[in-house]
Each structure stands twice: as structure tokens, then as C-alpha cells.
Amino acid sequence: MSKKVEGKVALVTGSGRGIGREVALKLANEGARLVVNDLDKDVAYQVVEEIKAAGGEAVACHGSVTAPDFAERFIKTAVDTYKGIDIIVNNAGYTWDNVIQKMTDEQWYSILDCHLTAPFRILRAAQPVIRAISKAEQEAGKEVFRKVVNISSIAGTSGNAGQANYSSAKAGILGLTKALSKEWGRMKVNVNAVAFGLINTRLTEATADGNARIDIEGRAIKVGVNPGLMKQLEATIPLGRGGTPAEAAGAVFLFCIPESNYISGQVIVCGGGFE
């Protein structure tokens, strides 16, 4: 049986853990050659080795997606290693919550930089590469589709209290998605978005003491959800539970396969029926 994305070159940000890792593994399992990224060098290389051990191809480009030179370095890694780009998944992200009167400029800009500015820079850096390859293909009479999948959230489609920064960034990525679907259609690039609901990762894992933290470039960012609140949240989901990272990856994969070649500028909600 042929694999859905055999030989395609896929770049996935934030793919050392959680949803991003599952996206990378899913694409690799279906034949794609991966550029894996994570802020943490060790976990990025762990995913690379996992893909290689399963018979796939992968390289790492670790570092912060918000670094000024990251986008060019990310794209260059793909071109230098595989000579092309076929799939870009802008997945990297985290939350840094507060009500608006207590939210600092640092909180605001850090989240917008990660969830909106970084994808913009990556896609800007990718455009000359995709344009050149697409032009050559069209001159040869070939129709080859490429895929961009931007990650949004129901916080971006509907808003969420305490997340003015995250909601704004995730709403903004939908605008970027729709704009680029119109700009890049002539290059046969499908640009779509997946908006996640509650997905069970280390960012949402129930923690009784409320003291769970992750390190983001020297900042101790609070993560996790109180168990009682988690039960309340799950009760609002028609399917009765949060999603798994593998299920989230499945939604992204839908926009990466040939069956979605005539779908662009769209957003699907992966939230178990909750919107």
C-alpha cells in the first residue's frame, strides 16, 4: 500500500513533545522526510532518532521559533538536507495566561511572537523557495500541491477569559491562513488551519497542587489545570473527554494529504464537538 505523503519534505515546529511530536511521527510513518524542531535540543534529537529507528528520515533544527534568525535557519535546513519543501506545520506554542488588567506587555508580546509572528516569518522565508520550485514544475507541465497547516484554537475562534493574548494570536493566525490561501493559490499551495479544543498534553494535564511549571527561555510558565476544573471542562465536550495528541495529529494530517488538494483557506475544529 502506498503511503500518503511518500517522499514529501515536512517541517513541523514544536515537534519534540505533545501534539507536534505526534504530527511528526504520523507524517514520517506515512513516508515524509522530517525537519523536527523544539526549543529543547535533547527532545528534538530524540524524535529524530525515533523516526530513524522506524526507518524514516529526519533532521533536527532546534531553537526558539521567536529567534530573529530562526525562520531562515529552519527553511535552510530543509533545503540543504532535502532540496525542497512540501509541508509546513506551524505548531510551536504555549500559554501564559492572565486577566487583561494584570497582563504585562511581556506576556502579550511573548505569546503573539510565538503564535503569530513566528509562523509569519517562517512562511515569508519559505516563499522564495516554494515559488522557484512551483515555477519549474508548472513550466514542466506538472501540478504539485504543497501544504501549510497553521495551528489555532477554540480560544481563537470563540475567545477565552484570561487568555486575551493567546486568543488574539490564535485569531490572528486564522487571518494569516486566509490571506495566504489567496496569495499562494497560484503556487498550488493549500493553506489551512486546525483549531484545537481540549487536548491532553503537559500544558493541560490536571495538577492537584497547581504548581506545575515549564521553562520557556528562562521563564517559569505555569501549566496544568485543576482536576476539578478539568472535570467541568470535560463535561462540556459532547464526546465526554479531552482529545489525545495522536487524535490532534490526525486532524492536521487531513490537511497534508492529496485528498485535501482542493481545500484551502479553511479551519476545522478538533474539539470533540465543543466549539
Three-class HEC string of 141-168: CCCCCEEEEEEEEHHHHHCCCCEHHHHH
Q: What angle do CA 259, 261, 264 make, to 5 degrees?
A: 120
Would you give the distance in Å from CA 18 to the centre of its chain?
11
Would you give the distance in Å from CA 53 to the centre of its chain?
24
Q: Which is the catalytic residue, given 82, 94, 109, 166?
A: 166
Q: What is the pLDDT of residue 219?
A: 82
CATH C-level class of 9-200+245-270: alpha beta
CA atoms within 13 A on the CB side of 59: 14
For 3, 28, 69, 120, 254, the CA distances from 53, given in Å and listed in that order, are 18, 11, 30, 33, 25
- How is residue 103 annotated by DSSP? -
> What residue spans define the domains of the chain?
9-200+245-270
Instruction: Cell 499562494: give the residue.
Output: 184
- Let me know if 166 is a catalytic residue: yes
Nearby residues of 244 by Cβ (< 8 Å), 6 or more positions away? 199, 200
Low-confidence stretches of the chain (pLDDT < 70) are: 1, 206-211, 224-226
Q: What is the pLDDT of residue 167?
A: 98
Q: What is the pLDDT of residue 214?
A: 78
Q: What is the pLDDT of residue 217?
A: 81
- Residue 148 CA to residue 12 CA, distance in Å, equals 10
- Residue 23 CA to residue 261 CA, distance in Å, equals 19
55: left (phi over 0), alpha (psi -120 to 50) or beta: left
Q: What is the pLDDT of residue 211?
A: 64
Instruction: With 0.85 as the threshold, say if the pTM is over it.
Output: yes
Q: 146 and 130 in contact (C-beta within 8 Å)? A: yes
Q: What is the pLDDT of residue 177?
A: 99
Q: What is the pLDDT of residue 252?
A: 98
